[in-house]
Structure 1
């Protein structure tokens, strides 16, 4: 048993869990460029072939690491506000801040895997937690039911705007030398709730 494996077992983790944790750490800190089986194995302190005793292929390991990365990030971010609590404005700012932080943490890993659809497909099979987008939609729908939003409030359009801002902010930062400045969250929420209509 290698020292790394002994450490993993001593911590109550299986070798498979140790390999996923190692790949997750590499994915989070270095991205996916050049993230090979050999790199993961060396970082984990095992021989290259050991990975194939626990995973069918590299794609399965990377999907498990990506799933772990998203779950770890979501756990750090805590819970989102319940419908009916505080004000809708406050709760939407909280949702938006959560979404921005989540996307800043995980989008770099996803963009690095665009050329590896097999990894993304495996991730979709593994990741059964409710996505933030769905949580936001459910929150707005519940507030509409409670009468804290207009009965005809276009929930899907509001969700698309807020999620789109997160994508634009993070992807622009990855692709451009000078990404656009994120507008104040209170301004974004004001536009979502009150629109840009002309003054009567």
Structure 2
């Protein structure tokens, strides 16, 4: 005889563990992580508070898995990134920058409530799959273009990735941490300059 299904799961194919992660991820998408408690998650999930500890080592594990689920959901809703070998590299980089900026605007607020909670952040990092994060995808795209001969064989891929990701971080974090009125979009001219700096260099003056 199979075990009885919890009332909160009636009409679903989810396990209770998956239901709790999905519930916490939805709350994070709606409210962020600041002030999110085990009690709030349990109430929203329709279970007793103590049930969570039957399925997770601690609340940090649940929060880390929920943030990861939230980020995956954001990525799945943003469409496809350019494929190596298809379309001009400059246009593909512009598309990556637009994607990265929109992605950071959607996910970085979820981390605002986790500052000072290294255990959650460590568990979040451990829950990832290599190659799934946008930074990894950008790196993979550029490396593939090198292998296809559309970028120079000695292209500084790591530095280029750091430049692009850093711009997206700075643009969004400035608004989150310092100035809520700061624009979180990049002017077209700036994106063009960034792409040119990545592909052509900063342009050292000749002696």
CA apart distance, 1:157? 1.7
- Please state if 1:188 is matched with 2:189: no
**Kept after mapping to 1: 8 A contact 2:8/2:45:** no
CA apart distance, 1:139? 1.3
Alpha-carbon distance between aligned partners in 2 of 1:50 and 1:105, rounded to the nearest angstrom: 30
1:86 aligns with: 87
After superposing the two structures, state which structure 1 stretch, 85-94 or 176-185, moved more: 176-185
CA apart distance, 1:7? 5.0
- Structure 1, unaligned stretches of length 5 or more? none
Alpha-carbon distance between aligned partners in 2 of 1:146 and 1:82, rounded to the nearest angstrom: 12
2:3 aligns with: none
Partner deviation per Cα, 1:44-84 (whole Å, 9 max, x = no partner): 12221121122221111101101111111111123221111
- Residue correspondence of structure 1 range 77-116 to structure 2 within 5 A: 77-116=78-117
For this pair of structures, how many residues does the alignment match? 196
**Kept after mapping to 1: 8 A contact 2:8/2:47:** no
1:22 aligns with: 23
- Please state if 1:43 is matched with 2:49: no
Q: Secondary structure at the match of 2:10?
A: helix
- Please state if 1:179 is matched with 2:182: yes
TM-score, normalising length: structure 2: 0.86
**Kept after mapping to 2: 8 A contact 1:63/1:120:** yes
**Kept after mapping to 2: 8 A contact 1:9/1:15:** no
Pair 49,91 (structure 1): closer, same or farther in 2 beyond 3 Å? same
Partner deviation per Cα, 1:128-179 (whole Å, 9 max, x = no partner): 1412212212211221232222333222221111000110011011012232
Larger helix fraction of residues: 1
**Kept after mapping to 2: 8 A contact 1:92/1:189:** yes
Q: What root-mean-square deviation, in Å, do the aligned CA atoms of Structure 1 and Structure 2 show?
A: 2.0
Which runs of 4 or more aligned residues in structure 1 lie more than 4 Å from their structure 2 counterparts after TM superposition? none
**Kept after mapping to 2: 8 A contact 1:24/1:65:** yes
- Residue correspondence of structure 1 range 101-180 to structure 2 within 5 A: 101-130=102-131, 131-177=133-179, 178-180=181-183
